[in-house]
């Protein structure tokens, strides 16, 4: 069997046009109108395979190719929501390739022994709704359905209401297709495979991360009349904390990273000492001990600001320990790459994925293909059509073995 490489790439281009703005990539935040249009397109392609399409109550869309046995299904999938100004491949590749796997099996007139499910998970990115990975978080009972439906977006809208509004509050249980194995195909989003000229990354696990929302409150005052010694400047206090936290990651002996992706000052005027600074921190590290130490240092830095008279609120909005994947699934993927004469290496994912949630409930692994210059979460994200087709073929081989096992 082989993936229809032309259709895979054509569909990725098409999906990439949903929510696209000239020169700014595409923005398809979870449960927006753009997400609805993307879902509609993907559901149509799922239906075209002849398989069943089922939507669950957290909005995950499942393409279900029924097997001959009642065994728990094998699942693949990823997400089609995006960050702001995204590339066309992050998440979409895994969903569209999964659909092509089912299409290839149907075309070969084969009926798998086990049921095969391709899932487009809701709100993987966590940009509009935090925490991230909401669809897989609910499926794996890391979060209750009711808590998830009550999460409020950055623009003040309840998850459950928005899911209803876009028409994707399904009736199926999010636990209906709990699989016995999960394999996610994704672009690497980092520079390693591209730099080494390798075709396939066999993903052994995902690094740990924690997300924080921080608000520092000081005292707004006149920029001209308030002596430096008498200020309680929330802006500079926040910036000093940020410099310490990011420098700490830069100096770490581990590949720790820290990112301030959002930052806002109030009242945000040139001639007013800022009374409030609000920002987010995304800290990641493959090692649990150093990640925990970075978190402790953040708490200490906040305590020091409080001692200086600032009021600081610190909320952890999402957190995951580093996740190891199944070594037997990794071996299987490695062997399948080798069988197609493809070069590969073991790799740890720097980005987070629904697979890290699924790893809590079943043997899980991921397959990476190279990202040009390691660029992602950026419109310039790119992998060649041939690289994308190659990864999808390895996914096909792996899933077919699992459904037949």
Question: Residues with Cβ < 8 Å from 344, sequence gap 6 or more?
Answer: 198, 199, 200, 201, 202, 333, 334, 337, 338
**Measuring CA to CA, which residue among 118, 98, 127 is closest to residue 317?**
127
Please say which residue, 194 or 282, places its beta carbon nearer to ligand GLV: 282
Q: Which does 381 bind (CB under 5 to 8 A by kind): Mn ion, ligand GLV, none?
A: none
**Region near Mn ion per CB under 5 A, out of 91-99, 131-139, 251-259, 263-271:** 91-99
Cα dihedral 179→181→187→193 (10° resolution): 170
Shortest distance, position 189 Cβ to Mn ion, whole Å: 7
DSSP-derived letter for residue 231 is: -
Contact 377, 91 (CB under 8 A): no
Q: Residue 350 CB, nearest distance to ligand GLV (Å)?
A: 7
User: Which partner, ligand GLV, Mn ion, none, binds residue 352 by CB below 5 to 8 Å per kind?
Assistant: ligand GLV
126 within 8 A of 81, measured Cβ to Cβ: no
- 65/206 with CB nearer ligand GLV: 206
Residue nearest to ligand GLV (CB): 351
- 67 near Mn ion (CB under 5 A): no
Count of residues engaged in binding Mn ion, rule: CB under 5 A: 2
Residue 90 interacts with Mn ion (CB under 5 A)?
Answer: yes
> How far apart, in Å, do the first and last CA atoms of the chain sit?
17
Pairing of strands 257-259, 276-285: antiparallel
Do 130 and 89 touch, CB atoms closer than 8 A?
Answer: no
Residue 195: left if φ>0, alpha if ψ -120 to 50, beta else—which one? alpha
274 contact, one of ligand GLV, Mn ion, none, CB 5-8 Å limit per kind: none
Pick 214 or 351: Cβ nearer ligand GLV:
351
| Residues between 341 and 400 with contacts to ligand GLV, criterion CB under 6 A | 351-352
Report the alpha-carbon distance of residue 39 to residue 393 in Å, rounded.
24
Binding residues among 103-142 for ligand GLV as defined by CB under 6 A: 125
Q: How far apart are CA 336 and CA 180, in angstroms?
A: 20
String marking each residue 67-106 x if it binds ligand GLV according to CB under 6 A: ----------------------------------------
Interatomic CA distance for residues 385 and 202, integer angstroms? 19
Compute and round to an integer the Cα radius of gyration of the chain: 22
Residue 60 binds which entry of Mn ion, ligand GLV, none, CB below 5-8 Å type-dependent: none
* From 19, 91, 208, 350, residue interacting with Mn ion (rule: CB under 5 A): 91
Shortest separation between residue 202's beta carbon and Mn ion, angstroms = 18
**Cα 285 off chain centre by:** 16
- Residue placing its CB nearer to ligand GLV in the complex, 49 or 352: 352
- Least distance from ligand GLV to the Cβ atom of residue 396, Å: 24
CB of 116 to ligand GLV, least distance (A): 25
Nearer to ligand GLV, 67 or 94 (CB): 94
CA distance 293 to 222: 38
Query: Shortest distance, CB of residue 350 to Mn ion, whole angstroms?
Result: 11
295 touches ligand GLV by CB under 6 A = no
**Contacts with ligand GLV, residue ranges (CB under 6 A):** 125, 351-352
Residue numbers at the binding site for Mn ion (CB under 5 A) = 90-91
């Amino acid at each position: 069997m082989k993936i229809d490489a032309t259709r895979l790439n054509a569909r990725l281009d098409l999906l990439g046009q949903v929510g696209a703005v000239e020169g700014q990539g595409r923005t398809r935040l979870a449960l927006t109108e753009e997400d609805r249009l993307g879902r509609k397109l993907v559901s149509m392609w799922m239906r075209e395979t002849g398989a069943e399409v089922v939507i669950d109550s957290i909005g995950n869309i499942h393409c279900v190719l029924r097997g001959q046995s009642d065994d728990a299904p094998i699942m693949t999938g990823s997400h089609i929501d995006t960050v702001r100004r995204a590339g066309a491949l992050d998440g979409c590749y895994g969903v569209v390739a999964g659909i092509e796997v089912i299409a290839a099996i149907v075309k070969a007139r084969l009926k798998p022994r086990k049921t095969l499910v391709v899932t487009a998970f809701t709100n993987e990115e966590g940009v509009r709704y935090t925490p991230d990975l909401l669809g897989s978080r609910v499926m794996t009972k890391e979060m209750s359905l009711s808590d998830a439906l009550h999460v409020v977006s950055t623009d003040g809208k309840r998850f459950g209401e928005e899911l209803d509004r876009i028409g994707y509050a399904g009736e199926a249980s999010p636990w209906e297709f709990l699989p016995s194995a999960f394999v996610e195909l994704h672009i690497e989003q980092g520079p390693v495979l591209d730099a080494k000229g390798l075709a396939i990354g066999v993903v052994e696990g995902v690094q740990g991360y924690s997300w924080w929302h921080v608000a520092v409150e000081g005292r707004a005052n006149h920029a001209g009349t308030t002596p430096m010694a008498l200020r309680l400047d929330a802006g500079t206090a926040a910036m000093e904390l940020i410099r310490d936290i990011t420098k700490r990651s830069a100096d770490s002996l581990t590949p720790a990273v820290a990112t301030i992706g959002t930052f806002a000052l109030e009242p945000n005027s040139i001639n007013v000492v800022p009374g409030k600074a609000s920002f987010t921190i995304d800290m990641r590290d493959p090692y649990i001990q150093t990640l925990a130490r970075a978190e402790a240092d953040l708490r200490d830095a906040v305590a020091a600001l409080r001692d200086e008279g600032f009021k600081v609120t610190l909320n952890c909005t999402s957190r995951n320990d580093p996740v190891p994947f199944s070594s037997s699934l990794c071996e299987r993927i490695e062997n399948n790459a080798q069988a197609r004469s493809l070069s590969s290496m073991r790799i740890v994912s720097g980005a987070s994925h629904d697979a890290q949630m699924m790893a809590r409930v079943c043997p899980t692994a991921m397959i990476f293909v190279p990202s040009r210059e390691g660029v992602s979460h950026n419109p310039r994200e790119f992998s060649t059509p041939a690289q994308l087709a190659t990864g999808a073929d390895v996914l096909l081989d792996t899933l077919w073995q699992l459904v037949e096992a």
